[in-house]
Amino acid sequence: EAGVAQSPRYKIIEKRQSVAFWCNPISGHATLYWYQQILGQGPKLLIQFQNNGVVDDSQLPKDRFSAERLKGVDSTLKIQPAKLEDSAVYLCASTGNSNYNSPLHFGNGTRLTVT
């Protein structure tokens, strides 16, 4: 099966600019996650979708971050305006099983550098 696809792979922007990341999960996977991974740290959950509904966005900085999954498949994550501390890798993951022990399938992420 094809894996989780993310684009772009790299993005460099100046602070206060906006940026968007795209994710296409594994076909048929209902649950989609966005994680932020700062260098040297583990992934930190930003938002979780079940189909096109938000399950958990408690860690999403909603004043600048937004995410959507309109048709329950692809998802976009947007940052506007970006800050220096947003420099990180943004990982998308999906699971297809409703069991809570399902492993996460990650994409290779988008590395964002804010200057």
Q: Which residues bind other proteins (CB under 8 A)?
A: 4, 31, 40-45, 48, 55-56, 91, 93, 100-101, 103-109
From residue 55, alpha-carbon distances to 59, 60, 73 in Å are: 12, 12, 15
User: Closest distance between other proteins and the C-beta of residue 42, in Å?
Assistant: 3
CB of 87 to other proteins, least distance (A): 16
Would you call 85 helix, strand, or coil by DSSP? helix
DSSP string, 59-78: TS-TTTEEEE-TTSS-EEEE
Which residue lies nearer to other proteins by CB, 42 or 53?
42
Q: Which is nearer to other proteins, 24 or 48 (CB)?
A: 48
Q: How far is the CB of 91 from other proteins (least distance, A)?
A: 5
Residue 91 DSSP class: E
